[in-house]
Structure 1
Amino acid sequence: MLINPNGYTYCHEHLHIDLSPQKGNIDCRLDQYDLIRAEMDALVDRGVYNIIEVTNAFMGRNPQFIESLMSDTNINILLSTGYYIEGFFPPDLYTKSAKAISREMIREIVDGIDGSNLKASVIGEVGSSENTFTETEKKVFEAAAMAHFETGRPISTHQSMSTMGRYQIELFKQFGVDLEKVTIGHCDLKDNLEDILWLLDQGCYVQFDTIGKNSYYPDSRRIAMLKALAERGLLERVMLSMDITRRSHLKENGGPGFCYLMDTFLPQLEENGISRAEIDTMLKHAPYQLFQ
């Protein structure tokens, strides 16, 4: 058992990530241990027992940091293996075959992550660029499919600004991936209910995982889309998260903090007619089905 079934799960988070070299901004180095530990303690107090940590190796993954968080806070964290998107790939990735990349993923799942006692449990976050899908991104998706076949572990994706989700699924179909073991990320950054309905119809999971990022897309419209899905009885494969990636996202630094979803967003859902049972479906039952 990988997921603690008794608590809620955030399906797409970063607890240690460093994209500052690519973005030229120290704010993109999320590494303030004491602040993050305090926020994990607060989440556990609110019944969030699991975090799906989708930072992979070239995004600044730090398994020792995660081991300490798990020990100090008793939160359960699942780590990921893979590569992100164009602009965030190591140079040698361009010359590697999909098979070679898949072997790296399989090793981290089966044997463990170098320098730690942890193994990867999720293949992710593997992604596509905004409105396009580069050849190297496609190669990573092929490698993810191979690693999935070998290990059975689920795949978590990144959509840049809620684009290319359909193409991601079509690519996985070409590779013969079991779509019930796939979750499409960042489905909540534009008005795209028709795309979400199509994705759900394919059998995969969808993530409303940028909750609180109102500068990208307002929570009021996220709630409207979730309400539309609830009215259709389609929340069984919908999951929630915040995708915190910056120091400025932390509560102590003036951001919403990890508890925003629990303290602010969930009451707004209930005010808009989404029941506690439906919330449990998105935060407990759906993640357990996918990540166990």
Structure 2
Amino acid sequence: MIDDSGYTYVHEHLHIDLSPQKGDVDCRLDQYDLIKEELLQLKLRGVFNIVEVTNRFMGRNHHFIEDLMADTGMNILLSTGYYIDGFFPPELHALSAQEICREMVGEIENGIDGSDLKASLIGEIGSSENTFTDIEKKVFEAAAYAHLETGRPISTHQSMSSMGRQQVMWLKQHGVNMNNVTIGHCDLKDNVDDIIWLIDQGCYVQFDTIGKNGYYPDTKRVDMLEVLSERGYLERVMLSMDITRRSHLKANGGLGFCYLMDVFIPMLRERGISQQEIDTMLKHNPSQLFG
């Protein structure tokens, strides 16, 4: 699954289209040549794996991913599931958790949309900002059943770093061992206490919106990682950028996928984060979770 000779970005989108819901073509990330070039540059920096968390009804495109894998040699893991309320297909409301689970298991065991590509994880499944709706809980319940049947890990989405505790408690209630779960978007507000609580439950946590300084500055992300380092918690932390828009790409004036390696990692080193700790977050932890 994971090529553990290189680094892994654990929460990315290489083809996503949320433009119908957001009314903005910038939310259609589909510029093949630009993305291909950025992945080639990432490989030169030692990033060999991308966990692609675009799932059903988010504009997932397995043909696009197959071509990227062939043209770049990047190892890309695909996902199954549904995102958050407001981005669900209408028919999801009528399905039971068991029926949604069957869809997930099918994509894990048989392949996505008739292709040879199989889902390697269940994600990104999410909760809304400061609330966890009934239909979101149903998707989490389905994810729990699919995880217990297949053993594949679960990757979640927190809207603005909220509701992580509720996600964990709901998954636990449905029998999931937290060692198989990673909680996404933990780095969008001052919440070190919440992050420590999540890690204490056994979860992995993701600092996966690196570079999104308009939401929360990277200097504060570094502050939190420094605290977690001092307390010995980085063995459960993973990193990524969650690039979702055309304007995030380097050629379009954005920071680009290489920003994490070129800018953010040096920021960590300046704060005393060791190379061993960087390897733990970018190599060893993803390898342990995603296999």
Counterpart residue number, 1:84: 83
> Letter of the aligned partner of 1:20 in structure 2?
S
Q: Distance in 1 between matches of 2:144 and 2:237?
A: 22
> Letter of the aligned partner of 1:150 in structure 2?
E
Counterpart residue number, 1:212: 211
Q: Distance in 2 between matches of 1:111 and 1:95?
A: 24
Counterpart residue number, 1:164: 163
Counterpart residue number, 2:132: 133
TM-score when normalising by structure 1: 0.99
Counterpart residue number, 1:5: 4
C-alpha displacement at 1:256, in angstroms?
0.3
Structure 1: 5+ residue stretches without partners: none
C-alpha displacement at 1:116, in angstroms?
2.1
Aligned-pair identity in percent equals 73
What secondary structure is seen at the aligned counterpart in 1 of 2:226?
helix
> Letter of the aligned partner of 1:42 in structure 2?
Q
Q: Distance in 1 between matches of 2:190 and 2:13?
A: 25
C-alpha displacement at 1:114, in angstroms?
1.2
Counterpart residue number, 1:24: 23
C-alpha displacement at 1:115, in angstroms?
3.9
Q: Distance in 2 between matches of 1:109 and 1:176?
A: 20
Misfit runs of 4+, over 2 Å: none
Deviations 1:7-27 (A, max 9, x none): 000000000000000000000
What secondary structure is seen at the aligned counterpart in 2 of 1:57?
coil
Q: Distance in 2 between matches of 1:74 and 1:64?
A: 15
Counterpart residue number, 1:93: 92
Deviations 1:63-90 (A, max 9, x none): 0100000000000000000000000000
Counterpart residue number, 2:197: 198
- Once the two structures are superposed, the pairs formed by residues 118-129 of structure 1 within 5 Å of their partners are 118-129=117-128
What secondary structure is seen at the aligned counterpart in 2 of 1:78?
strand
What secondary structure is seen at the aligned counterpart in 2 of 1:58?
coil
- Once the two structures are superposed, the pairs formed by residues 1-292 of structure 1 within 5 Å of their partners are 2-292=1-291
Q: Distance in 2 between matches of 1:115 and 1:72?
A: 21
TM-score when normalising by structure 2: 1.00
Structure 2: 5+ residue stretches without partners: none
What is the root-mean-square deviation in Å for CA atoms of aligned residues? 0.4
Which range is displaced more, 253-262 or 114-123?
114-123
Deviations 1:83-121 (A, max 9, x none): 000000000000100000000000000000114220000
Q: Distance in 1 between matches of 2:115 and 2:99?
A: 22
Aligned residue pairs total 291
What secondary structure is seen at the aligned counterpart in 2 of 1:37?
helix
